[in-house]
Structures are given as C-alpha cells and as structure tokens.
Structure 1
Amino acid sequence: MIIAYDAGAFQQSISGGIFNVSVGFLNAAARVAPDAEFLFVADPFFGEVRPDALAALTFRPRVIYRSVLKSSGSFSLRTNRERVRFEVDGRIVPTEQTTTPDGVCYHYDGPTPRHRLLLRSRAARPCDTMNSPDNRNLGVAISKIVIESDKGSQEFAFDDARLTNGYHDPESAWRWTNGAAEIPLEFFPRVETARVGVHIRHKVVYSLADGSFDRRYNGVVQAAIEQRRAFNLQELGRELREMGATVYFANHFIPIAIPGLALASWAHDVIPILFPNFFGKDAIENFANVIDIFKRADHIFCNSETTRKDIIENVGVSPERLTTSWIGPGAIGPRPAPVVDAAIAKFGLRRDYILNVGTLEPRKNHVRLVQAYDEFRRGVDHPPQLAIVGSHGWGYDELVRLIANSGLSEHVRVLSGVDNDDLSALYSGAMFVAYPSVYEGFGMPVLEAMACGVPVLTSQETSMQDIAKNAAVLVDPLSVSSIAQGLRELSLNSELRSRLASKAKEAASRFDWDRVAKTIIDVLKGTRR
C-alpha cells in the first residue's frame, strides 16, 4: 500500500506537536506495516523538507513538490515598510534613518516645533495583515525618544506618562503608536533648533492599498492563482496514481483533496471554531480549509474522544467516518539523575520547581497560572520555583508584564529554545507538572509528564482529564483560586505526589504508537475512492 502524506510539518519548525505526532505515527507504521510506503507531498510555500526533520524518521520517504495550497481570503497588497516621517507644525519634513543594535532610529533635525510634532507612519491591525488576534491599529513600536540641542541631550523612555496622544499602553520594552503619535513640546528645551531621534523596535505588516482599482486587480490575481492551483492538483493526482498511491493523508499544513485519491485526515482539535478569540484572522481562515477537508474526507482519525465529539457536534461529520485512534507519546522520556542535575544547572533552576510546558499564548492559560502561583507562594515559607517552557506566541508580553509587575522574576523562570533532551530532563526533575490549559484536543504535556513518571495538575475539562485518569489533580482552568489550591495541595503533600507518580507511567502506557498505527493502517487499507 502506498500512502501520500502531508509533509508540511517536516518543512516547518521541528519542535511542534503536529511534527511529533507525524514522527510517532510514521515510525510506528514502518514497524507494524512494513509493506506500507509513504510519499511526502510538500508545497514550496513552506520551503524545502528539512534534513534535520527527516532525521527523526527511521526511513527516507520520496518527496513530491507542488503549489497546491488554497489561498485564504482575497489576494491583498501588503508591505513591511513602515514609512515613518515627521510632521512639524503641520508640515511634513525630510527624515533621516540610522540603524541601531535593536532596530532603527528616525531623526528630525531642524527648527524646534512651536505648535505640534507628530511621528507619522503606516498603521494596520495585525488581525487583518498578520496571523494574530490583535485588533489594535498599530503603527510602530518605539523604545525611546532622544532630543539633542546645544543645551545637551535628554532621553525619554517609552513608558513616559506624558506620551498620551497617539499611543497604546506600554508593553515590556516598547510602546506602539497608532500611526500618528504626538511628541510633547514640553520635551524640548528653549532652543531655536533641535535633533529628535525616535528609536523603533518593531513594526507590523501594513495594507498597501484598498481602492476600487486594487480590488479589481486582486480579483484578477486571485482567479489566476486558483486556476494554476487546480491544474497543479490534477497533475499531482496523476503523478501520485502513477506512483501507486491510493490515499492522501492530510494534516494541518496541507489540507487538500487530491483528484483520484481517497482522502484521510488527522483531526487534532476544532479550537478555532470553539474559541476564535484565541486565533488571528489568517489562522481562522486557514482552519476553514481544514474544516472543508473534514467534510470531504473518506475517514478522519481523531486524537481523542473529545476531538471526535467536537467534530460531530460542530462540523456535522457523520460518526461512522470518524475513528478515535488516539496518539502516542512524543520524543520525551525519563532521564537519569546526572542528566537532570545538568539541565537544572544549565537553566539556573532551584532544586524544587514546578514545570509548565506549552506555547506562550493565552489559550495555554499562563496568566492565570502565574496569578495562582503568586497567590500560593505568599502562603508558604519556601515555595518551589515555577519554570515555564515554551516558544513565544501572541500575547507573550502580557505574561512578561505580569511577572515583572508582581515581583516574580526571581520565582518564575520563562525558558524558550529548550530541545527534547533538555525538556525530558526538566520533566524528570520536576516536583510536578502544572498544565491548566483552557482547552485542548489532546494535551501532550500531560502525557509527556506521565511518561516521565511525574505527577500532574491539569484541567478538569475535555481531553486532559481523560488522559490523566487518576494520575493527576484536576482544577478549574478559569478559576485562579482553584489552580492555586491545586498548586498548594501538590507542593505541600509529598505523599500525594508519590501516589500520583506511581500511577503516572501506568496511565501513560495506555497510549502506544504501534497500537495507533495498526488502527490507522487497517482502516486505510479498506479506504477507497
């Protein structure tokens, strides 16, 4: 049997959960069904299939590249050029730009403003131009303003209380303008001329044009893109059939139906439907393509009963086309004491720490976890540290501000860029893992913690309680006091931790990749278009 497989996860970052699921399944399928062959389907939009990603497989698949991704929304003209300029007393003046170690600096050099000085730039809502839920109208992010004259130089921080007109609230190390930010005249000394330097740390993607001509032009471009895509899909289907493929297994990255092949799909969750506030406009539009594949698929493999139920109730797929295959553990496993000690020293952690793992974004509930930790630690003499491991997602600045403003920098460590070996060691050395996510289709950190023999605190919602069984303390993820009580219970009760740890590996053993792969391959062998 030859199966065409969505290779998008092997073109992206290799630390993501979807990548680990693909690796676990494909390697297990090679063991339990050696007669099955996988052909990788890759879209050049994601770049080349990465050699370091392929190194995680026990076999080397053939790869076929085609531009087949369905564009979301309409084609639009966008730019990353911020077009900063100064407006001095109602007149736009020449602007000089220099590069700084952490961004760029725009300069105005001339007569001191008498009435008004504006920093103008392009502005856009990230929810319209980027994959972000942020609906603020953002210009540029400034870090400081420097004014020089023959009386000397004075620096004004981004969080100066006098910066009011045209600014959003300060963030961790910068402040966004709205595209027309006023620089107060009181910043200037009584001089005839001055040099103003505005230091820019960040910018966004901006819409370039939105006139009637542009909409007509976009429509023509979109039609041409779709026509080319349809041709590429037909050619891809023909080539794959000639290579002997009978089914295409879609994943999150390349959700397409290939002419002439049966269609199967992974289903990880439907969270963009249930909680659209956690996702940007692009992500929601892209997920509409995934939903379309769910509706057209001959069979869908769900990572949990929760995901299966959500698809039935929210997408309208008939139950007989859905199989709960579950998934197995990723590349995380227990590590011996010397390896654990080395990781603890490497990341500067204290011996007793609580571990949280997950992308730093609102759905993972880091803000409530830190608030609960702060509440808990105030009631004990020697609280354990809280170590948060995850790549930076949207909303990360809110977490950073909370830690700083609560005086928790010494107690809460945020770690990024942690590889699987170090992560396994950090799991193995933790007192327990706290994972009170708002919603998950599966919740891999719960399984990873149990696979390392570590007790868990997690949400009493959806799949997480099904995975944890009796090896976890369950809390209400929307209640800070409930999370704080769970932290207190697990931190102070060593007998409870020992009891849960003894059950953890047994609970984790229910999830086995060989069993998952056999279930999926058996179904695929009977799937025909």
Structure 2
Amino acid sequence: MKVILNVESIVPPVTGIGRYTSEILAGLLARGHGAEVHCFSHFNWVDARRVINASGVSAGGNRVRPFLRSVPYAYDLRCVARNAVFKRSARKFTGAVYHEPNYILKPYDGPCVVNCHDLSFLHFPEHHPAERVRYLDRNLEKSLRRADRIITLSDFVRREVIETFSFDPATVITIPLGVDGSFRPQDEDETRIVMERHGLRHGRYVLSVATIEPRKNLHGLLRAFMRLPASLRKEYPLVLCGAAGWRESKVEQSINELAREGSILRLGYIPEADLPLLYAGAAAFAFPSFYEGFGLPPLEAMASGTPVLASATGSILEVVGDAGLLVDPHDDGAITEGLERILTDGALRRSRIDAGIERAGGFSWTTCVDRTVALYREMVKPHHR
C-alpha cells in the first residue's frame, strides 16, 4: 500500500491541521509503512522522519504568507506552480493513495482522500483573509467532488458538508481526532520546571491555547476575564498560548495593555513538549471559540485533568459534551460567570475534572490512524475505481 501525504502543514509553528497530519504520519511510520509513504511539502518530496522530527521545533513567524497576502494573486500563482510540480513528479508513484489533509486536492489521477476540517469560510468569511476565502470559494467544492472519500473530524462538520454540497453520505466519513498519552494529570513536582520557565504557579492560572485570530473569540475572552473580580484576576491570571494568525493586531494591542496590568501573560507559540505540562498546571482552561471543526485543545485539557469552559456550539459540544462547562461564546457575561464558577466552586471543579478525564479516554490517535489506514486500503482495492 503506497501513500502520498501532503505534509506542508507540518511546518513550525504547527497548528491544528499540522498536528493532525503529524499524527497520521507518525502513525504510519509506527505501523511499518515508512517505505511506502511519500511526503510532499511545497515544491519538494521530503523524508518522512525528518518532517516528524522538525514538527515540534519552535519557529519564528512565516514571512512568506504576509507577503503573499499583500500581492494580488501571488497566492494563487504559487499554488498553480506548486500543483504543476506535484502533478508531474507524482506520476512515479503509480497506484498510490493520495491523502490531502488540507482541503484542496492537487492534480492526481489515482485514488484520493481529502480532509474537510470545517466550513468556517462560508459561515464566517470575515474571520479569514480575503485571499483564503476567494481560494476556497473557487476550489473547495471541486476538490471535494473529485475525492473518492472525504474525511471530517466530527459528525457536525460531516452533516454540514453533506447538506451544503448534496453529497452521497457514504462518501463522507467521520474519523475523530485522538489525544496523546502525554496529556494526563500531573502534580506540582512534575510541572515545576515548565512553571518556572514561564513564570507560572501550578494551579494558579487560567489557560487558553489558540491561534491569535478572530474566529477564536479572544476579544470576547479578554472582555469576560476583565469583568472578574480584581482579586480573582490577580490570583488566576489569564495565560494565552498560540501562534500569531491573521488580523491579530487588535487582539495583540488589547493583550499588551492588559499585560501591563499583570492580569494577562502572552506566551506565544509553545513547543509541543511543554504543552502537556501547561495544561496540567492550569486551574482552568478557556476556549470560547465561535466555530471549530473539532476542538482539540479542550480535549487535551480534559485529558490533563483541567476543568474546561468552552463554547456550546457545533463540534465543540460534540467533543466536550457535558464534561465541560459550556457557554454561549457571544455572551461575555456568560463567559465571566462560567470562569468565576469554575475557579471558585470546588464541587463543580471536581465533577468536571473527573468527567473530562473519562470523556477524553474515548478519543484515541491509535483509533484515528487505524481507521484512516483502513480507508487507504479500501481505496486501493482493484474494483474500487
């Protein structure tokens, strides 16, 4: 079974799609498929193990993307050139299954599997760069129709894809993400080194892990947090982790102003090795995103034994269920009330911690990779096409 995997998203700083792609690739290697997996990144074929080893490395900002956004159609032209290279060079892998984790298939004549992580560009176009919305408007439906199978990460997105594009339900498969075993409850001694590195106290901060961009509703979280009693903010500062995304300048300005007061700490992009310890050391985890295709951060927080406050919307509701404290992301007052309850109500905290650990146990990367590999095998059956 030969597999072509696009690994362009596994470039630090790695965000959601990159994490997913990295886990799929690592799972394939662990199952002995290393010689059969061919990784394409931008304009080159790259070594799978080198890609995995580089994925957890911290990196500075990507200078190419801002430049592409500033030049009309530069993004589109780059995609055309990259696709031409892929089409010509992929011919040598005859019979391979091509898995595209990032929405838009490149030109390929063999069996294809594509991920549709969400349809936020349709529901919230104002939350994305204009060139991204334009590109997905022109290409997403064509890409999905060309695929033999479409993978979604939640039933919520699966229903959206089927209803929006009138697809045969049999072609759209939900394969949920998993949570790594490194995300587990850890005591103060285990987290001490990371706490000292970032100037934190175990059990004395509210954590949020998200790319700094409009869809994550960090403005709403900041407003809600600042409505908490001053004594509570002092005891439990808000810690923000995540790479800079799109149109983040206003959020950054607000963060900087509040950081001077001492209530908020911006850590930026965090190496993956530190994340489990930051989750485990937090008093609470806040994730009031407007829209998600899955919601991996709250799942990782639950597995870490940290009580979760999250949005009562779509796939987040599907992932977190009643194990978290769910609120309307458009209601700042509800977010404030939820944060105060989760920080001060001992009985509520204990119940959410126990329920979160139990619920997170139902999500496995092993299952995710096994189901994905089974889908690959289905694609290469002689009668499939």
Regarding TM over 0.5, the answer is: yes
Secondary structure at the aligned position of 2:39 is classed as strand
Residue number among 221, 243, 258 corresponding to 2:108 in the alignment = 258
Could you tell me which of 378, 386, 392 is aligned with 2:244? 392
Change (3 A) 1:397 1:409: farther
Query: Residue 421 of structure 1 aligns to a residue in which SS?
Result: coil
Greater CA drift, 399-408 or 472-481: 399-408
Counterparts in 2 of 1:8 and 1:34: CA distance versus 1, 3 Å: closer
Residue 432 of structure 1 deviates from its aligned partner by: 1.2
Residue in structure 2 matched with residue 301 of structure 1 by the alignment? 151
Runs of 4+ with >6 A deviation:
47-51, 228-231
2:36 maps to which residue?
37
Among 300, 311, 325, the residue aligned to 2:175? 325
> Equivalent residue for 2:132?
283
More strand per residue: 1
- Residue in 2 aligned with 1:172? none
For residues 5 and 254 of structure 2, the distance between their equivalents in structure 1, rounded to whole angstroms, comes to: 42
Structure 2 match to 1:272: 121
Q: How does 1:375-386 map to 2 (within 5 A)?
A: 375-378=227-230, 380=232, 383-386=235-238
2:230 & 2:13 partners in 1: Cα distance? Answer: 39
Give the direction of change, closer, same or farther, for the CA distance of 1:20–1:232 in structure 2 (3 Å limit): closer
Give, in whole Å, the separation in 1 of the partners of 2:180 and 2:30: 16
Residue number in structure 2 paired with 1:157: none
Alignment-mate amino acid for residue 27 of structure 1: A
Structure number with the higher helix fraction is 2
Tell me, yes or no, if structure 1 residue 500 matches structure 2 residue 352. yes
* Number of equivalences: 369
Is 1:337–2:337 an aligned residue pair? Answer: no
User: Please, which runs of 5 or more residues in structure 1 have no aligned partner?
Assistant: 58-79, 81-125, 132-204, 208-214
Q: Which consecutive residues of structure 2, in runs of 5 or more, have no partner in the other structure?
A: 56-63
The residue that corresponds to 1:9 in the other structure is 9
State the Cα deviation string for residues 59-110 of structure 1 (Å, max 9, x = none): xxxxxxxxxxxxxxxxxxxxx9xxxxxxxxxxxxxxxxxxxxxxxxxxxxxx
Residue 347 (str. 1) matches residue 198 (str. 2): yes
State the alpha-carbon separation in 1 of the partners of residues 332 and 103 from structure 2: 35
1:336 positional shift: 4.7
Select 1:461's aligned residue among 292, 313, 318: 313
The 8 Å contact of residues 331 and 420 in structure 1, kept in 2 or not, is answered as no
2-side partners of 1:332 and 1:314: how far apart?
37
Structure 2 distance, partners of 1:381, 1:17, is 29
Q: Distance in 2 between matches of 1:56 and 1:407?
A: 31
Q: CA RMSD in A?
A: 3.3
Are the structure 2 counterparts of residues 493 and 324 from structure 1 closer, same or farther at C-alpha, using a change threshold of 3 Å? same
Q: Matches of residues 162-241 of structure 1 in structure 2 within 5 Å?
A: 205=70, 232=85, 235-241=88-94
CA distance in 1, matches of 2:84, 2:340: 60
User: In the alignment, is the contact (CA less than 8 A) between 2:287 and 2:311 conserved in 1?
Assistant: yes
Task: Name the TM-score, length of structure 1 as normaliser.
Answer: 0.63
Query: Which secondary structure does the structure 2 equivalent of 1:360 belong to?
Result: coil
Larger radius of gyration: 1
Distance in 2 between residues matched to 1:52 and 1:39, nearest whole Å: 12
Q: Secondary structure at the match of 2:274?
A: helix
2:71 and 2:372 map into 1 onto residues whose CA distance is 44
Rounded to whole Å, the distance in 1 between the matches of 2:7 and 2:104 is 8
CA contact (8 A) 1:32 1:518 kept: no
In 1, distance between residues paired with 2:165 and 2:346? 44
Shift of 1:53: 2.9
1:494 CA displacement: 1.8
8 Å contact from structure 1 (residues 257, 263) kept in 2: no
